[in-house]
């Protein structure tokens, strides 16, 4: 079996970026490290793959992440996971932020045209025609994170199943009037969470009134905001109490925090009067006692980096999709004190 750069890095106890720099006589490598890597390479009879050698000559040791926002708790956590993963390979993370989703293809095309990166990570963005054209024309490896397209490598969470688990839990607590506060459905995760919510109600034969689903129209973070949660719950609070839902699935924890404020201002209590289930399990969720769906953000980041680096190093062409199962985290807001329950800890391709 041909030895790879990973074998060299593992034996020399360095990242693959360091190994690549050694083989290309990069000035950023200490002499002692260079001697150790070359010694391991000789011992393992390492012979660089021709394609890998061609790639190495043009390396910037930088990966670009195209992200909708830097102010979302979810994006902060996933970017941290990506940064930690890339650090192992001695790669830097270059961030490219967007104000509006329609800018995605222009932003990514500019970065790729300038050849500032060896690979790209595209986060939580709908893969529309213009963006797909840019990605297909790209000459560098890329991985989609928290979104999906059959033509490109991707790492994501099963948002449909996660929303199904949350809604199903509310039905098991005896709720028959269950509403949803959804983010803007132009966002793939928001769209999938709405789908999972409806699926759970249908399977448990619970009627869904159209007025029990309120969808954010905001383009700011696709409606995954405190303000959206607050405003949409206010609209629910204006309904007749006999026709209003007694429980709500909310498509993000940030929205839950806003919704809790609206509930309090209406003179009601959670969970005594209203049960709520969120999504993401961001850091503040535990502080607020939010029952939620935990995404395996750390594992997703680690997997996305490993998949990207495999393409950067070996130029693999097979498209791989890794989807992670979400986990139920039961806290105060749904009105039960049960412990956490996990649907699965693994991923599947």
pLDDT digits (tens, 9 = 90+) for 309-318: 988 888 767 8
Q: How far apart are CA 84 and CA 297, in angstroms?
A: 12
Q: Would you kindly state where each structural domain of the chain is located, as residue ranges?
A: 5-56, 62-155+297-323, 159-295+328-348
pLDDT bucket at 339, cuts 50 / 70 / 90 = very low
Superfamily of domain 159-295+328-348: Response regulator (3.40.50.2300)
pLDDT bucket at 196, cuts 50 / 70 / 90 = very high
Question: Can you give the pTM of this predicted structure?
Answer: 0.76
* Higher per-residue confidence, 50 vs 185: 185
pLDDT value at residue 212: 97
Candidates 3.40.50.300, 3.40.50.2300, 3.40.50.1100, 2.70.50.60; CATH matching 62-155+297-323: 3.40.50.2300
Q: How far apart are CA 334 and CA 342, in angstroms?
A: 17
Q: What is the mean pLDDT of the chain?
A: 85
pLDDT bucket at 136, cuts 50 / 70 / 90 = confident
Give helix 16-23 / helix 5-12 axis angle, nearest 10°: 110
pLDDT bucket at 341, cuts 50 / 70 / 90 = very low
Candidates 1.10.10.410, 1.10.443.10, 3.90.1150.10, 1.10.260.40; CATH matching 5-56: 1.10.260.40
Question: Residues 300, 306: contact at Cβ < 8 Å?
Answer: no
State pLDDT tens for residues 206-216: 999 999 999 99
Q: How far apart are CA 88 and CA 93, in angstroms?
A: 12
Q: How far apart are CA 250 and CA 118, in angstroms?
A: 38
Q: Which H/E stretch holds residue 103?
A: none
5-56 and 62-155+297-323, same CATH topology: no
State pLDDT tens for residues 53-105: 544 556 778 898 888 776 678 888 899 999 999 988 888 898 877 655 556 66
Looking at the predicted structure, is the pLDDT value of residue 342 above 60? no
State pLDDT tens for residues 22-49: 877 677 788 888 888 888 888 888 766 5
């Amino acid at each position: 079996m041909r030895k790879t750069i990973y074998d060299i890095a593992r034996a020399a106890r360095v990242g693959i970026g360091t190994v690549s720099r050694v083989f290309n006589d990069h000035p950023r490598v200490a002499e002692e490290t260079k001697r150790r890597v070359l010694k391991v390479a000789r011992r393992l009879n390492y012979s660089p793959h021709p394609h890998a050698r061609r790639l190495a000559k043009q390396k910037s040791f930088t990966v670009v992440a195209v992200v909708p926002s830097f102010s979302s708790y979810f994006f902060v956590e996933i970017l941290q996971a990506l940064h930690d993963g890339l650090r192992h390979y001695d790669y830097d993370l270059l961030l490219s932020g967007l104000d509006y989703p329609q800018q995605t293809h222009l932003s990514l095309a500019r970065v790729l045209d300038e050849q500032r990166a060896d690979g790209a990570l595209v986060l939580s963005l709908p893969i529309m025609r213009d963006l797909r054209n840019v990605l297909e024309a790209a000459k560098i490896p890329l991985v989609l994170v928290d979104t999906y397209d059959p033509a490109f490598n991707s790492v994501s969470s099963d948002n449909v199943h996660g929303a199904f688990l949350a809604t199903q839990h509310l039905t098991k607590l005896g709720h028959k009037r269950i509403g949803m506060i959804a983010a803007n459905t132009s966002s793939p995760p928001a769209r999938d969470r709405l789908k999972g919510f409806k699926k759970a109600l249908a399977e448990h034969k619970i009627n869904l009134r159209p007025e029990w689903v309120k969808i954010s129209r905001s383009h700011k973070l696709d409606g995954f905001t405190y303000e959206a949660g607050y405003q949409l719950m206010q609209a629910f609070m204006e309904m007749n109490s006999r026709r209003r839902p007694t429980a709500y699935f909310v498509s993000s924890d940030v929205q839950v925090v806003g919704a809790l404020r609206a509930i309090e201002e209406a003179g009601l209590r959670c969970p005594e009067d209203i049960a709520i289930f969120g999504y993401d399990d961001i850091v503040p969720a535990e502080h607020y006692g939010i029952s939620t769906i935990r995404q395996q953000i750390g594992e997703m980041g680690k997997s996305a980096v490993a998949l990207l680096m495999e393409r950067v190093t070996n130029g693999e062409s097979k498209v791989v999709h890794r989807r992670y199962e979400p986990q139920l985290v039961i806290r105060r807001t749904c009105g039960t004190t049960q412990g956490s329950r996990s649907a699965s800890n693994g991923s599947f391709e």
